[in-house]
Amino acid sequence: MIRVALIDDQALLRLAMRTLVQVEPDLRLCGEAENGVEGLELIRRERPDVVLLDIRMPQMGGLELLRRSDIPTRFIVLTTFELDEYVFEALRAGASGFLTKDAEPDEILRAIRVVAAGDSLLSPAITRRVIQRFTGGGASTGPALRPHPDLHLLTEREREVVSWVATGLSNDDIASALHVSPATVRTHVSRALIKLSARDRSQLVVIAYQSGLSIPVV
The predicted pLDDT at position 125 comes to: 65
The predicted pLDDT at position 8 comes to: 94
- Report strand pairing: 50-54 vs 74-79: parallel
Domains 2-121 and 145-210 are alike in CATH topology? no
Exposed, middle or buried by CB within 10 Å (0-12, 13-18, 19+), for 165? buried
- Using alpha carbons, list the distances in angstroms from residue 8 to 13, 55, 65: 8, 8, 12
E-strand ranges in the chain read 2-7, 27-33, 50-54, 74-79, 97-100
- Strands laid side by side in the 74-79 sheet: 27-33, 2-7, 50-54, 74-79, 97-100
Render pLDDT for 13-60 as a digit per residue (tens, 0 to 9). 899 999 999 999 999 999 999 999 999 999 999 999 999 999 888 889
The predicted pLDDT at position 167 comes to: 84
Fold of 145-210: Arc Repressor Mutant, subunit A (1.10.10)
CA gap 10, 76 in Å, rounded? 16
CA gap 22, 114 in Å, rounded? 18
CA gap 96, 117 in Å, rounded? 11
Which comes out higher in pLDDT, residue 117 or 191?
A: 191
Q: Residue 61: which of 90, 99, 98 has the closest Cα? A: 90
CATH 3.40.50.970 fits 2-121, yes or no: no
CA gap 21, 50 in Å, rounded? 12
Are the beta carbons of 206 and 88 closer than 8 angstroms? yes
The predicted pLDDT at position 135 comes to: 55
- Give the phi and the psi of residue 32 in degrees, each rounded to 5: -145, 155
pTM, rounded to two decimals: 0.73
Domain borders along the chain are 2-121, 145-210
